[in-house]
Amino acid sequence: MGGKKIKLDRSDLMVAFQSLLEAYGSQGWWPGETAFEVMIGAILTQNTAWQNVEKAINNLKQAGVFSETALLAALDGEVAQLIRPSGYFNIKADRLKQFCGFLQKQGGEDALRELETIKLRELLLSVKGVGPETADDMLLYAFQRPVFVIDAYTRRIFSRLGMVAGDEPYEVLRAGFESALGPDVDLFNEYHALIVCHAKYFCNTKPKCSGCSLASQCTIP
């Protein structure tokens, strides 16, 4: 037997959450003015620093290529050059177009909003270039659905806290967090943002956050 089990319960997770919230404050995610911008950003930020994504988004806006129809009408090469700062620009240009084609085919985001979360998630995952984390970013931050986003930081931090092994399949961890916390859009929103904030500034390669602003009272690895 000996299967490493997940030990996620609400009280432990809330202690960690409060600790992060007190240290960094409310993050106000997602950085984006519209649901469309959130979704485009979710694709562009795949394995990429957000700072570079902002440049790409600004380029698209400035070129007037920041809408479903404009992106579909633009040439592949043009989109690729505009999003160059975000890396993987050829692949991501195709992913943006694939996604806009999907939006058009589905009748726009208003039509998607009518769907149940499970069905919407399946549809998003059916788009080439949209994997589980990207889909969940969209569900949580563009559609306000109670979906807990799992990323590499989440795996590392809660693995260090001894709550998970860290190498569980994506769906196992997502179900674990959602089950322990219960559906709560605002909590999931703030929690994921705080995890990224904490990891980004203090726990990139360090085993412990020695330079963490939580200092000696830091209980978050």
Q: Catalog residues that contact DNA under the rule CB under 7 A.
A: 29-31, 41-42, 45-52, 55, 84-85, 87-92, 127-135, 137, 141, 151-153, 167, 169, 196, 199-200, 204-205
For DNA, give the closer residue by CB, 12 or 21.
21
For DNA, give the closer residue by CB, 24 or 88.
88
For DNA, give the closer residue by CB, 62 or 69.
62
- Provide, rounded to whole angstroms, the least separation between the CB of residue 162 and DNA: 20
For 39, counting Cβ atoms within 10 Å of its Cβ (0-12 exposed, 13-18 middle, 19+ buried), the class is: buried
- Provide, rounded to whole angstroms, the least separation between the CB of residue 42 and DNA: 7
> Which residues, other chains included, contact 142 with Cβ-Cβ below 8 Å and sequence gap of 6+?
30, 35, 36, 38, 39, 42, 109
- Provide, rounded to whole angstroms, the least separation between the CB of residue 11 and DNA: 27
Cis peptide preceding 29, ω within 30 of 0: no
- Provide, rounded to whole angstroms, the least separation between the CB of residue 114 and DNA: 23
Return the residue matching tokens 């109670």. 146
> Which residues, other chains included, contact 182 with Cβ-Cβ below 8 Å and sequence gap of 6+?
10
